[in-house]
Structure 1
Amino acid sequence: MAIQQAKVFVEDLQRGMFVSRLDRPWTRTPFALQGFYIRDLEEIRQLQKYCRYVYVDVVKSVGDVGVKLRKITRAADEQSSSQQTPPAKGSYRRIPVAVDCKPVQIRHNSYAVPEPARREAHKARQLHDRIIRGMHEVMVQLQADRPLPTAQISQNVCQMVDSVLRSPDAFSWLARVREKDEHTYSHSVRASVWAVVFGRHIGLRRHELVQLGVATLLKDVGKLCLPDEVLKAERRDPRAELEYRKFVGYSVKLLSTDPNIDRQVINIVQCHKEQYDGSGYPRGLRGGQIPVLARMCGIVTFYDEATNPRGAEFPVPPSKAVAQLYELRDGAFQEQLVVEFIQSIGLYPTGTQVELSSGELAVVVEQSHQRRLKPKVMLVTDREKKLLEKPRLFDMAVDDDRKMALVNKGRKSLPEAGLITITQDLDPSQFPQINVAKVRDQYLFEQRLPAFIARFLPGR
């Protein structure tokens, strides 16, 4: 057998695998043995804390997973031999995880076509502010050992669900832009918005959207029971990590004392840190053992933490967070749900800074839900990357239709038409002079916006 070792991401590790190498020196980890069999989930969790991937000895791995590894690598060797292309030095193959789980029933287009974000913006902002204040009240009440204001929270989430059903982009804007006065609980508010947008996309019923939204909003209340040095630590040793993971149990205990909390909400909270391959916590559930809404909650939690790392001055570009999420498909998260979530927010969600093929920089202000790669954007620089005195609205879908009409009539060739595309999303730290919050407010809330939509770019 040509391949003796397989590079395996830690979220794909299973009992019976023999770990022969790490992605870092053994001396930088608490593992005393340089090579060991994985015997239980706790060893997997410790590896997840210190490593991104490890090398597994295909021959030494035992049990069903050893048989599977050898079949996979044997088939890969045969394919490489038939193509006369031996594996490159240092190459690896991602080992798929076999998990018993039925596909999730998806009902696309269950709701009406979204209304324009501007029409919903004022209602969404007022409601968003109420939710933020409500979460602040939750923290105050918990610290004072008083009952949670769950009735008000549920009412706010019900209204948020109705708002997202009318216009996902309005609330997505509010989740995307990080305000200067954001609090530690803003993550839960943002994740709750993504959860409802996600649920709308796959056609969840309204009561399920409310359950998902409330659970995602309250999933972290137990973190108030953790010591600050554990909660805020950038890196935790295995002992501190075990202490940190107790927050799930604390959250469940706090919510269970309230008779007004839906039992399904508590179930989502209890399972939202479980992972599809069984490597999550607190119970190591896998696949279909994890409720669908909890699987969705786990995905939006990861996405928001990836786009808004604790302590970072700027958010991470959505494309990087999406790439991280996609890499975890059928490991930490169910592939079907990962793909559906990415489709629900689009490759370029509202608030994303992008560069156009013409050279201008812009901010995505509203999705075209049938043509995700052609959103409405606000142009903020010219082709030389100089800030415009006043940003200009540019509807990429409308511009495409106009130019393609000329092509179809034979008046221009496709190259002559010059279709505009998004070439990449931008790291916000590269262009701190672009004030995304100001662009948002100009687009959503200012009354005296231009009445027309720009149908061509400056100088075109």
Structure 2
Amino acid sequence: MIKEISTKQLRKGMFVCGTDRKWIDIPFFRRKFLITSEEQINTLQAYCRTVVIDTEKGADVLSLPETQTATEQQIDDATPESERAEQTDKDRGYRKSYEQSQTVLNEILSDARLGRSVDNPKVRGIVQDLTVNIVKDSQAMIGLIHAKDKNDTLARKSVNVCILALAFGKHIGIPKEKMYALGLGALLHDIGMVKIPDRILSKKQPLTPAERAIMEKHNEYGIALLSQTPEIPVDALKIVYSHHERMDGKGYPQKLQAKEISLLARMVAIVSVYEALTRERFYSQTLSPLAALKYLYTSGKSLFDAVLVKKFIQALGIYPTGCVVELNTGELGVVIKVNQQDRLRPVLRMVTNAQKQLLTEERIVDLAERENSRIEISKTLEMDNPIIELFMNLHEQLNGG
């Protein structure tokens, strides 16, 4: 029997034959598979709201297997239960922090739209919670923001920028007292957008000069809103006001140049553009993480601080999470983890074999492992590459999606 269930109902032993997302949007490269681990469940819950299961090939919601399958037993033998449970708890904690931050910030933004002051304890709590998780595992948190999601809200965007800014700050060793200001400024950098008319925010066509002039007022609106809130650090206010300034003096609102722009504002200028380029939006093309980094890098000194751009690239990794890469073997894979010791050798989830045929079984390759020393990344593929679209369509046909 085929039935659609919430991902909250998932259990090991269920046979998944469909999800509410396209296959390219989630880190599974087959849509039909038997759930054999908590990690698979956690990943499905992170990316999907519902899945379709086949109760003739696996367990039903109310009919869980009493004994483990052979595959499950192999997994259990390979990984201690306590270690798996600990990692599961961490992943759930990161996801919970990410989602709760958006929920709380959305409430704060709703209050701001009504002219109320920003709730300082709430925003402080968001920044502190995200900072703790960034310190624990910045790559895990960055991985969350690269999950494709049509929910293009100001709260999501702002939390994403905060995570990226904190990871950036951690990498370059920003002092603890400055980290809070960096995180707070990043979180609230676009709070003035709540005062911009929806007709401008949701417009799909290019803005007229008059509309752009209104849009560029959001920095000033943001400062005005925060002036009602006590104990906002000056460094955070500078971020809110100056994150659209550019190194060549052609930004706004003050047309500051180079070092006239504060360090933290220069950092958020970089991460906010990166976030915008890689976030799935209904009105703009989404770039791969690598293409977005290339844009930042090739902009040179005219737009962004070139030294900081290089450090940001180092913070994310040469091949950031989410990149689709082709190996010298002809195989395609997606970067799922950056190796901190060797950023040129990430961990991949393989998508195809050398003949560009979709894999039917999950295969993880750590390029840093000695046995993979002869495997190299030949190139990266853009998300709009025709070959990726072809694989997506073939996968949908083969799996009845």
Q: SS where residue 140 of structure 1 aligns?
A: helix
How many Å apart are 1:375 and its aligned residue? 0.9
1:283 aligned to which of 254, 263, 280: 254
Q: Deviations over 1:82-117 (max 9, x none)?
A: xxxxxxxxxxxxxxxxxxxxxxxxxxxxxxxxxx98
Q: SS where residue 147 of structure 1 aligns?
A: coil
**Do 1:317 and 1:352's aligned partners in 2 also have CA atoms closer than 8 Å?**
yes
CA 1:391–1:169 in structure 2 vs 1: closer, same or farther (change >3 Å)? same
**Do 1:212 and 1:265's aligned partners in 2 also have CA atoms closer than 8 Å?**
yes
The list of structure 1 runs, each at least 4 consecutive aligned residues, that deviate by more than 6 angstroms after superposition, is 116-119
1:159 aligned to which of 120, 129, 132: 129
2:168 aligned to which of 198, 216, 228: 198
CA 1:228–1:403 in structure 2 vs 1: closer, same or farther (change >3 Å)? closer
Quick one: which amino acid aligns to residue 381 of structure 1? Answer: T
1:218 aligned to which of 175, 178, 188: 188
Quick one: which amino acid aligns to residue 387 of structure 1? Answer: L
How many Å apart are 1:248 and its aligned residue? 0.4
Q: Deviations over 1:387-427 (max 9, x none)?
A: 222321111101xx2466xxxxxxxxxxxxxx111222222
Aligned to 2:43: none
Q: What TM-score results when the alignment is normalised by the length of structure 1?
A: 0.62
In structure 2, what is the Cα distance between the partners aligned to 1:286 and 1:314?
A: 29
Q: SS where residue 274 of structure 1 aligns?
A: coil
How many Å apart are 1:148 and its aligned residue? 2.4
- Equivalence map 1:217-366=2 (5 Å): 217-233=187-203, 234-308=205-279, 310-311=281-282, 315-366=286-337
CA 1:125–1:215 in structure 2 vs 1: closer, same or farther (change >3 Å)? same
Quick one: which amino acid aligns to residue 384 of structure 2? Answer: S
CA 1:145–1:299 in structure 2 vs 1: closer, same or farther (change >3 Å)? same
How many Å apart are 1:145 and its aligned residue? 2.8
Farther-moved stretch of structure 1 (422-431 vs 267-276):
422-431
Aligned to 1:149: 119
Farther-moved stretch of structure 1 (287-296 vs 322-331):
322-331
**Do 1:361 and 1:381's aligned partners in 2 also have CA atoms closer than 8 Å?**
yes
Q: SS where residue 325 of structure 2 aligns?
A: strand
In structure 2, what is the Cα distance between the partners aligned to 1:313 and 1:241?
A: 17
Q: Deviations over 1:212-250 (max 9, x none)?
A: 112111111111111223333331232222111000000
**Once superposed, what is the RMSD of the aligned Cα atoms?**
2.3
Aligned residues between the structures: 304
Q: What TM-score results when the alignment is normalised by the length of structure 2?
A: 0.70
Does 2:156 align with 1:186? Answer: yes
Structure 2, unpaired ranges of 5+: 1-85, 393-401
CA 1:403–1:426 in structure 2 vs 1: closer, same or farther (change >3 Å)? closer
Aligned to 1:133: 103
Structure with bigger gyration radius? 1
**Do 2:152 and 2:280's aligned partners in 1 also have CA atoms closer than 8 Å?**
no
Quick one: which amino acid aligns to residue 210 of structure 1? Answer: Y
Q: Deviations over 1:231-289 (max 9, x none)?
A: 33331232222111000000111111111422321122111111112111111111221
How many Å apart are 1:319 and its aligned residue? 2.5
CA 1:339–1:243 in structure 2 vs 1: closer, same or farther (change >3 Å)? same
**Do 2:331 and 2:350's aligned partners in 1 also have CA atoms closer than 8 Å?**
yes
**Do 2:117 and 2:229's aligned partners in 1 also have CA atoms closer than 8 Å?**
yes
1:389 aligned to which of 353, 360, 368: 360
In structure 1, what is the Cα distance between the partners aligned to 2:130 and 2:208?
A: 39
Quick one: which amino acid aligns to residue 426 of structure 1? Answer: L
Aligned to 1:421: 376
**Do 1:221 and 1:251's aligned partners in 2 also have CA atoms closer than 8 Å?**
yes
In structure 2, what is the Cα distance between the partners aligned to 1:156 and 1:433?
A: 41
**Do 2:291 and 2:382's aligned partners in 1 also have CA atoms closer than 8 Å?**
no
**Do 2:149 and 2:280's aligned partners in 1 also have CA atoms closer than 8 Å?**
no
In structure 1, what is the Cα distance between the partners aligned to 2:211 and 2:333?
A: 43
Aligned to 1:45: none
Q: Deviations over 1:312-371 (max 9, x none)?
A: 587312222122111222111111111111111122111222222212221211111121
Q: SS where residue 391 of structure 1 aligns?
A: coil
In structure 1, what is the Cα distance between the partners aligned to 2:358 and 2:314?
A: 31
Q: SS where residue 428 of structure 1 aligns?
A: coil
Quick one: which amino acid aligns to residue 383 of structure 2? Answer: P
Q: SS where residue 348 of structure 2 aligns?
A: strand
Aligned to 1:455: none
CA 1:219–1:433 in structure 2 vs 1: closer, same or farther (change >3 Å)? farther
**Do 1:317 and 1:425's aligned partners in 2 also have CA atoms closer than 8 Å?**
no
Quick one: which amino acid aligns to residue 305 of structure 1? Answer: A
Q: Deviations over 1:139-170 (max 9, x none)?
A: 22123333323312211211211211121111
Of all paired residues, the percent bearing the same amino acid is 30
